[in-house]
Every structure is written in C-alpha cells, then in structure tokens.
Amino acid sequence: MSAEHEDGPKPSAAPGRRSAASAMAAAATTWLGALNPDQLRLALDDSPLNPDAEAERLRWFYTPTDHGGLALSAQGPAQQRLAMQLVATGLSEAGYATVATVLGLENVLDQVEGWRTDWGRERGRDPGLYWLRVFGRPGGPVWAWRFGGHHISLNNLVAAGRLVSTTPCFIGADPARTALLGGSLLPLGGIEAEARALAAALTRKQLSAALLHQSAVSDIVSGNRPQVGDGDTMIHMQDLWRGRFDDPALARLVDAIDRRAEDASGYTDEDHTRVAITFPPRGISARDLTEDQRRGLRRLLSRYTGRAPGDLAAAYDAHFAVDGALDAVHFGWAGSLEPGQAHYYRIHGPRILVEYDNTQRQANHAHSVWRDPVSDFGLDVLAQHRAQTLH
C-alpha cells in the first residue's frame, strides 16, 4: 500500500482545490468590500502567520457563545447575502442546505425551550448570531476564513492559491428530528441511519470488536480542541465556551446541563478513558469487514467528506474507493442500536476522524464533526510554509 493510501488525499494534490480557493477569495473580497469601517474591524483579522491572529483562528466552538467575527445580525440584508455566498463556497450544495437548515432550527429550539433561554444575550436562540471572520488578505499567500455559531463551525485555510484545509467541520442539530406538516425534519438523519445500518450489519463478533462502550458518551470526544491527541477524553460543557460565565445563574445552568448529561450516560472517569481518542484507533478495522460492509463504511464517510465543495468531495470518494485505502480506518460504536435511543459512533484513520453523538434531550440533539488528525486548520501546511520562509 502506498504512502498516499495510508495518509489520505494530499492537501495540495486533490483536484478542485485551486478553483475552490479562487471562488472563496472572490466572495470574501466582495463581502469585505461591502462593510463599513466599524464592521470591518470585527470581520477582518491578520494573516494566520501572525501568532496573535493564529491563536484566535484556532479557537473554535459549537456552543451558543461568541465565535468571534462579524455576526449576521450586525449586517444589513445585502451584506448578509454576500456573507452567505462566502459560506456557500466552502460547502457542497447539500452541505450548504444542511448548514442553512441548522441556522433556522434556532427558531424551533427557542419554542422547544419555551422562549426562555438567554445565555446572557438578548435572545439565547438567535439565527442572527452566527459569526464570519476572514484572516489575512483574500487571495494572498496564506489566508483563512471561518463561520460559526450554535451547532456550526466551518474552518478553511488557503495557501499558495489552494484550499488546503476544510476541517474542523462541525454540524449539529437540536432538535435532531422535528415534526413537519406531513413529515419530519432530520438534518442529520442520513448520517445517523447510515451508521446504524452499518453497525446492524456487523456479526456478533464484529460488533464486539467495534463496541467502544455499552453506553453512549454524552458528547463528541474530541470536543473543540484545535488538535486531536492520543488519550483525549470528552471535554465537559463548562469548558466549551469562550470563557466562563460571570453570571452565577448561567454558570449553574451549564453545571446542571453537564450533570444531567453525565447522569444519563452513567459515565465515570474510567468510562471516559475507555472511549478516549487513541492512536492507533479503537474499534473494528475495515480490514475485518466484508465487501458489503466496506461499501457501507465508504458511503458513511462520503456523507462527511461530501460537505466539501464538489471536486474535493469527489477526490475523497475516489481515494477511499481504491483497494487498501480503507484498511487503516476503524469504526467504533457506543450505546444502543435502536432508533431513538442514545448512541455515539466514530470513524478514525490516519487522515480522518469522524464523530457523531445523539444523546442529549432524550436522544434528540445531535452533534457531528469531520476532522483531519494531521491537518486540522492546515497546521501541517502552515508549518511547512514557515520553515520555507525561514530558509
């Protein structure tokens, strides 16, 4: 097996990275040009090569906290349209539709919670509180942009005219399923059903190898760390915000949410260690799957890499279809196999980490993330760029 198969698609080699970067630069330039000076101070930061700007770029969230940048609510309608055009350049058509749906779910969640949640803001569940920020000059040697708010975090780095990183890429949904007239809305239903079908297709022996724990952990394990490390355990909710709350009532609320989640999972410190991120990965190796099961794993992977712009998503699909490309990838499951019950799954290989949990709010609150353990935020590419600059 070649090194390329072991490592995954090379950031600089995958087709479409130059055209995607060009579209991003054009959209970012247009959006920034439509802002007034006060808005621009929030929207534009220094290049990722600046240590202070880079430290801020690596701070990412999926909670309803200030993600940093210029909020949609602080923009006029025409500016918002330009902002969303930039967001769309980083996603496939299906990826953009999913992100737009998650923004709209804030209105549904507000009703679910009785219009009472505030998180120290005028409105706690607010589709206007999604922030966009550009780092560096679009089209320059190294620049980046991010978009995030509750249950959304998109992070993109461009270097030498190529899109070199699209991760971490987080999409959540609360509620994960809600009634519509004549149907249901399940923004992440496909990636849940696909994974359950794969787990259900395992033999008893295979499922034993895949099982990380009998109960589901209450959140994704990698959390909002800038990099994934060996032995990482779940970050508790108190540490998933931009700082701690000064308001004692909000601090107590976060403590209570975390306590309820932990009580529901039944996890102890030992349990959290059992489902920690490890290198090499835990779970069943794709080497030990049948061809039908391997096809199911590839389909599931494509639901995550398919968030990327079309040519990039196709490159990932082509990579994992090559003989041997899946062999270092592992699939792990925790919790129930029954629909509507709490569960968690993980796909982990040298250049891929996928996590999904649906445990909170009686298994009606889902989190999903796609990461690259080697190149989240394009950190490996930036390191190479700095090394070349020094020489």
- If you average pLDDT over residues 346-375, what whole number do you get? 97
If you write DSSP's letter for every residue of 341-389 in order, what string do you get? S-EEEEEEETTEEEEEEE-HHHH--EEEEEE-TTTGGGHHHHHHHHHHH
Rounded CA gap, 177 and 225, in Å?
A: 28
Instruction: Evaluate if residue 6 carries a pLDDT over 70.
Output: no
How far is CA 82 from each of CA 23, 27, 75, 326, 348, rounded to the nearest angstrom? 13, 7, 10, 39, 36
Q: Looking at this protein, which amino acid is placed at residue 29? A: T
pLDDT tens track for 180-225: 999 999 999 999 999 999 999 999 999 999 999 999 999 999 999 9
Contact 117, 124 (CB under 8 A): yes
Bridge partner list, 173: 366
Structural domain that includes position 354 = 3-390
pTM of the predicted model as reported, rounded to 2 decimal places: 0.96
If you write DSSP's letter for every residue of 96-139 in order, what string do you get? HHHHHHHHHHHHHHHHHTTT---TTSS-SS-TT-EEEEEES-TT
In the structure, how many helices (H) and strands (E) does the chain have?
Answer: 14, 15
pLDDT tens track for 255-279: 999 999 999 999 999 999 999 999 9
- If you average pLDDT over residues 81-92, what whole number do you get? 98
Reported confidence tier of residue 13, pLDDT bands at 50, 70, 90? low
Reported confidence tier of residue 7, pLDDT bands at 50, 70, 90? low
Between β-strands 152-159 and 142-149, what pairing exists: parallel, antiparallel or unpaired?
A: antiparallel
- If you average pLDDT over residues 250-255, what whole number do you get? 95
pLDDT tens track for 34-57: 999 999 999 999 999 999 999 999
pLDDT tens track for 117-131: 999 999 999 999 999
- If you average pLDDT over residues 12-18, what whole number do you get? 74
What average pLDDT is seen over the chain? 94
CA 362 to chain centroid, in Å, comes to 22
Instruction: Evaluate if residue 2 carries a pLDDT over 50.
Output: no
Angle between helices 77-89 and 17-33 (to 10 degrees): 170
**What does the pLDDT read at residue 4?**
38
Look at the chain and report how many structural domains it folds into: 1
Q: Using alpha carbons only, give the angle 240, 300, 16 rounded to the nearest 5 degrees.
A: 85
Closest to 62 in 3D by CA, of 265, 366, 304: 366
Q: How many CA atoms lie within 13 A of 295 on its CB side?
A: 3
Least reliable range by pLDDT among 14-18, 28-32, 89-93, 255-259: 14-18
Instruction: Evaluate if residue 8 carries a pLDDT over 90.
Output: no
- If you average pLDDT over residues 2-23, what whole number do you get? 67
Q: How many CA atoms lie within 13 A of 123 on its CB side?
A: 14
CA 94 to chain centroid, in Å, comes to 15
